[in-house]
């Protein structure tokens, strides 16, 4: 068989491939230790915005370069921590994974002597993670069907099918129990500890009036836009987005359920100190304000609202005015009970 | 497959020679081993080890009641879809096998055409048609047949309708292949012997087309039981199918062990159906060969 490549060109190819691998690998690509941190994000737009708003100014000020990897993956975190080969320093992490990660010892405690938590919204400084982005489940409704003055203002109104007739949509997840409790008269600050009996009873009442139980976050906005339902529990970002497209919908911040994603430092991270510095840098109010101008999911800062236009501020769930009306989901509870309640939920659905 | 006649001692290295056609399937074989066989074994292990050997995931499936209920629901929906596909597909296949080859070609293209559109797109199309403000309801109101929009979407009927539309080609094609292979002279002979058209169909054509019926039916049924996106989007709260359950176990609950057990139960059921089919009819009917 004839050789396809000469010996020299094979050597050149090998070198090119080797350089390619080195350049691609985040750790090898970086310079000396402590001068680079690896940030694992969900990629895409989030990565670009983190790079622009946080990473570039951070490098300018401290000389520490931030290298990005993706995606966020709990299985990979687990594999890293169990093998001792820690590739990430900081990772974006979902709330339930954060609880699991903390319990299994995959996360470093946050050094709050470096990270300033005094500007955080109340009750958010978690021992092993810093809040990164909030979103919220809100009551959204068709404004043609329910014009100003006749609009639903609470989950109790959502449950009131005589005063507010029309098909409805709710999430097909046991989380809906939170909403059911508020509909039954529980105030947001009393939702947890969750009174399960009371929640099921309340859910039974609304069940026949729910046309669509949604499973994907895009669904409720679509259902409202198509006129398929007149009222839905939906994520705020999706509703704001279709509002901008001219769909006649509005949302009610009262009794919103706040959800959040975190940033955490991986246990045994090679550049732990630099990683803490980066987390501290990210929560600065002026940078938080820049972030929220590009991504509609605000971080934990409350003083950033002084830097935002009122138009933007009124679309954000952590606006102090709205924040106090809602409840932050207790992920500790769900990490412990979700599986059991999901089974019950499915059985309830089939009944 | 053709087997070679080997006379002991007559060939120099009879054992080492590999049929050259084997190399043609080698790439596919490697692909299947790495992306099908290996993952299936991983799933198998995942469902039995956590981290020590356990059958708790299977116990949970059979004890909780709800999971058997969902399995039953999956089977009932799949059965409805298969029956509807058969009823809708049989006359079409009959027509295709009966017309001139040129017309048959056009019909085949029309049957295959929807397969080129994604399942998600076709499911969304049904949502547009069946919705409260959808075309069907608008037409019904325009014709004064109903006063208020009727509930079509988010019902079991919508699930069956959308799935039938998606899976119908898979019923028609094996049926057509079988019917094409039926000797038309037998029908003539039946008529010469005095049987009417109905009797001829009932006694001659229908029995001869049975392999096609079973092939189409099995194919549609097997694909139906693993359906996910269509029931999730157009179904009502009771239309939970087992694939949706697997999805929620993987993505929301991170209970991969139970998801693996569910997957294996689903796979075992599929294999049993295929096994039964093969035993009675022969598996090559799936690819539409009329001669066994």
Q: What single DSSP character describes residue B53? A: B
Return the SS3 of A217.
coil
**B4-32 residue pLDDT tens:** 554 554 445 556 677 788 888 899 999 99
Q: Is residue B210 part of a domain?
A: yes
Residue B26 in any domain: the answer is no
**CB of A339 less than 8 A from some CB of B:** yes
What ipTM did this prediction achieve? 0.77
Q: Where are the domains of chain A?
A: 38-133+268-318, 135-259+326-350
Q: What's the number of domains chain B is made of?
A: 1
How many angstroms separate the CA atoms of B43 and B197, rounded?
A: 53
Q: How confident is the model at residue B255 (pLDDT cuts 50, 70, 90)?
A: confident
Average pLDDT over residues B24-45: 91
CB-based contact A53:A16 (threshold 8 Å): no
Residue B163 has pLDDT above 50, yes or no: yes
Write out the CATH class of domain A135-259+326-350.
alpha beta
Under 8 Å CB pairs connecting chains A and B tally to 55
Inter-chain contact B254–A343, Cβ cutoff 8 Å?
Answer: no
Q: Are strands A249-265 and A130-142 parallel, antiparallel or unpaired?
A: antiparallel
Instruction: Give B49→chain A minimum CA distance, Å.
Output: 17
B128 inside domain: no
Q: What are φ and ψ of residue A265, in 5° steps?
A: -100, 130
> Is some CB atom of chain B closer than 8 A to the CB atom of A192?
no
pTM above 0.95, yes or no: no
Q: Answer for the pair B164, B83: CB distance below 8 angstroms, yes or no.
A: no
Identify the domain containing residue B226 by its residue range.
53-118+160-287
Say what the pLDDT of residue B252 is: 74
Does the structure show a pLDDT above 60 at B289? Answer: no
B253/A contact by beta carbon, under 8 A: yes
Is the CB of A211 less than 8 angstroms away from the CB of B254? no
How far CA B47 is from CA of B2, B245, B265, in Å, comes to 40, 15, 10
CB A215 within 8 A of CB B234: no
Q: Is A337 touching B (CB cutoff 8 A)? A: no
What's the whole-number mean pLDDT along residues B266-282?
87
> Is B228 among the domain residues?
yes
User: Exposure string (b/e) for B175-190, b if CB count within 10 Å is 16 or more?
Assistant: bbbbbbbbeeeebeeb
pLDDT for res B16: 65
pLDDT, average across residues B88-115: 93
- pLDDT of B291 reads 46
Q: What is the pLDDT of residue B1?
A: 44
Low-confidence ranges of chain A (pLDDT < 70): 1-5, 13, 16-34
Which among B18, B247, B60, B90 is positioned nearest to A173, based on CA atoms?
B247
pLDDT of residue A31: 46
Domain-located, residue B170? yes
CATH of domain A38-133+268-318: 3.40.190.10
The C-alpha of A61 sits at a distance from chain B's nearest C-alpha, in angstroms, of 39
In a domain, B100, yes or no: yes
The confidence score (pLDDT) of residue A25 equals: 56
**Cβ A346–B66 below 8 Å, yes or no?**
yes
- With contact defined as beta carbons under 8 Å apart, do B163 and B230 qualify? yes
CATH number of the structural domain spanning residue B104:
1.10.3720.10
Nearest Cα residue to B267 out of B242, B231, B245, B232: B242
| Contact indicator for B234, B153 with CB cutoff of 8 Å | yes
The predicted pLDDT at position A3 comes to 56
* Cβ neighbours around A270 below 10 Å, total: 18
Residue A47 token pair? 């990565």
Amino acid A30: pLDDT:
47
User: Contacts of residue B71 in chain A, CB cutoff 8 Å?
Assistant: none
CA distance B115 to B104: 18
- Helices (H), ranges, chain A: 7-24, 26-29, 44-50, 56-62, 74-83, 95-103, 155-159, 176-183, 196-206, 218-225, 236-244, 272-282, 285-294, 310-313, 320-323, 331-350
Q: Which chain B residue lies closest to A340 (C-alpha atoms)? A: B253
B226/B78 Cα distance (integer angstroms): 9
Whether residue A208 lies within 8 A of chain B, CB to CB, comes out as: no
The CA distance from B88 to the nearest CA of chain A, in Å, is 29
Instruction: Calculate the average pLDDT of chain B.
Output: 88
Residues whose CB falls within 8 Å of the CB of residue B238, separated by 6 or more in sequence, listed in order: A349, A350, B73, B156
Q: What share of chain B is helix, strand, coil (3-state, %, to 5)?
A: 75, 0, 25
């Amino acid at each position: 068989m004839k050789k396809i490549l000469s010996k020299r060109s094979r050597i050149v190819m090998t070198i090119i491939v080797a350089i390619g691998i080195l350049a691609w690998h985040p750790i090898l690509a970086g310079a000396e230790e402590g001068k680079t941190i690896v940030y694992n994000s969900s990629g895409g737009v989030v990565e670009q915005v983190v790079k622009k708003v946080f990473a570039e100014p951070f490098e300018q000020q401290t000389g520490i370069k931030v290298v990005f990897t993706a995606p966020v993956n709990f299985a990979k975190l687990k594999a890293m921590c169990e093998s001792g080969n820690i590739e990430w320093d900081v990772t974006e992490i979902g709330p339930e994974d954060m609880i699991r990660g903390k319990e299994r010892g995959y996360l470093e405690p946050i050094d709050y002597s470096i990270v300033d938590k005094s500007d955080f919204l109340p009750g958010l400084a978690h021992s092993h993670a810093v809040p990164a982005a909030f979103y919220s489940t809100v009551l959204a409704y068709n404004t043609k069907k329910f014009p100003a003055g006749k609009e639903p203002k609470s989950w109790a109104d959502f449950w009131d099918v005589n005063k507010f007739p029309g098909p409805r949509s709710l999430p097909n997840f046991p989380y809906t129990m939170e909403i059911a409790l508020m509909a039954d008269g529980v105030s947001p600050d009393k939702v947890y500890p969750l009174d399960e009996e009371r929640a099921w009873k309340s859910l039974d009442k609304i069940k026949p009036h729910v046309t669509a139980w949604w499973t994907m976050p895009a669904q409720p906005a679509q259902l409202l836009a198509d006129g398929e339902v007149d009222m839905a529990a939906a994520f705020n970002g999706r509703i704001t987005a279709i509002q901008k497209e001219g769909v006649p919908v509005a949302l009610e911040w009262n009794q919103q359920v706040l959800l959040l994603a975190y940033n955490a430092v991986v246990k045994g991270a090679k550049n732990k100190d630099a990683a803490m510095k980066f987390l501290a840098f990210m929560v600065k109010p002026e940078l938080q304000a820049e972030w929220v101008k590009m991504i509609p999911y605000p971080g934990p800062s409350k003083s950033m609202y002084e830097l935002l236009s009122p138009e933007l501020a009124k679309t954000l769930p952590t606006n102090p005015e709205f924040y106090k009306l809602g409840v932050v989901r207790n992920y500790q509870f769900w990490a412990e009970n979700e599986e059991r309640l999901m089974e019950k939920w499915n059985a309830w659905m089939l009944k | 497959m053709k087997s070679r006649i080997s006379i002991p001692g007559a060939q120099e290295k009879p054992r080492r020679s590999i049929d050259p056609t084997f190399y043609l399937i080698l790439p596919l074989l490697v692909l299947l081993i790495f992306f099908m066989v290996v993952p299936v074994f991983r799933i198998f292990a995942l469902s039995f080890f956590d981290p020590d050997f356990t059958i708790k995931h299977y116990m949970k499936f059979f004890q909780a009641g709800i999971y058997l209920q969902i399995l039953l629901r999956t089977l009932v929906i799949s059965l409805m879809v298969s029956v509807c596909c058969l009823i809708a597909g049989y006359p079409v296949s009959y027509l295709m096998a009966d017309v001139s080859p040129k017309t048959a070609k056009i019909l085949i293209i029309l049957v295959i055409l929807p397969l080129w559109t994604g399942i998600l797109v076709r499911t969304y199309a049904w949502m547009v048609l069946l919705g409260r403000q959808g075309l069907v309801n608008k037409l019904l109101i325009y014709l004064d047949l109903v006063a208020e929009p009727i509930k079509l979407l988010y019902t079991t009927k919508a699930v069956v309708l959308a799935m039938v539309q998606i899976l119908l080609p898979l019923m028609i094609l094996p049926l057509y292949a079988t019917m094409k292979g039926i000797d038309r002279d037998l029908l003539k002979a039946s008529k010469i012997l005095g049987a009417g058209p109905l009797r001829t169909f009932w006694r001659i054509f229908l029995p001869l087309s049975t392999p096609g019926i079973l092939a189409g039916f099995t194919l549609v049924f097997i694909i139906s039981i693993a359906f996910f996106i269509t029931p999730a989007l157009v179904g009502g709260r009771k239309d939970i199918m087992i694939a949706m359950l697997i999805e929620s176990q993987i993505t929301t609950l991170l209970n991969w062990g139970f998801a693996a057990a569910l997957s294996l139960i689903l796979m075992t059921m599929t294999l049993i159906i295929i096994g039964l089919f093969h035993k009675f009819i022969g598996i090559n009917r799936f690819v539409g060969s009329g001669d066994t």
